Amino acid sequence: MTPRRVRALALLAPLVVAALALLSWTQPWVDAALDDGRPVTAAGDVAAPALPALALAALALVAALALAGRVFRVVLGILLALLSSAIVTSAALALGDPVGAASAAVTALSGVDGDESVRQIVQSAALTAWPSVALVAGILGALAGIGIALTARRWPERVRKYDAVRTAPTDDPATEGRADRLDAWDALSDGRDPTAG
């Protein structure tokens, strides 16, 4: 695979992870029934409240990766792997304990609070497919982060147009005139009169 394709896939991976995580977060995760027969649906915003922050952070990585140098790309790859691991953890907690994931929704409907009290009034709790989608997104993101960290050195060199321009002192009169104009603007910004001696 060419370095440009590797780079394109690495930039696409956080987008896919973020999109899947955000989509799953908006969907129902747990369908529960109380002992009095009332149904309770807990969406991802109740079952995994940290998911949107993690997904948006993964999304922000795309912009950073596009502009980052080699060393920083490795750091961003590791960061994507860590963020994705947190997405996996959020989904796994809901998958492992559906009643616990729905407890806030149960409390909002019934007024019953406390883990043991909520568990006593929940007759059944069934998971939907959306926690699994979030889990898969997190696993893909972790693999992509590791892949970015391992392949970052083989990516094509980035465009340097966003780098800071550094000027060295010269004897060129044009350069000195530009520096004088910049000093005048700085003086105005500081509230000083640039024409005052």
Domain-wise residue ranges, the chain: 3-154, 167-197
Mean pLDDT value across the chain: 84
What digits encode the pLDDT tens for the residues 134-143? 999 999 999 9
Q: Which two tokens stand for residue 193?
A: 């009169």
- Is residue 165's pLDDT more than 70? no
**pLDDT digit string, tens, across residues 64-105:** 888 888 888 899 999 999 999 999 999 999 999 999 888 899
pLDDT band at 179 (very low <50, low <70, confident <90, very high): low
pTM above 0.85, yes or no: no
Q: Which of 65, 61, 132 is nearest to 94 (CA)?
A: 132
Q: How far apart are the first and last CA of the chain?
A: 63
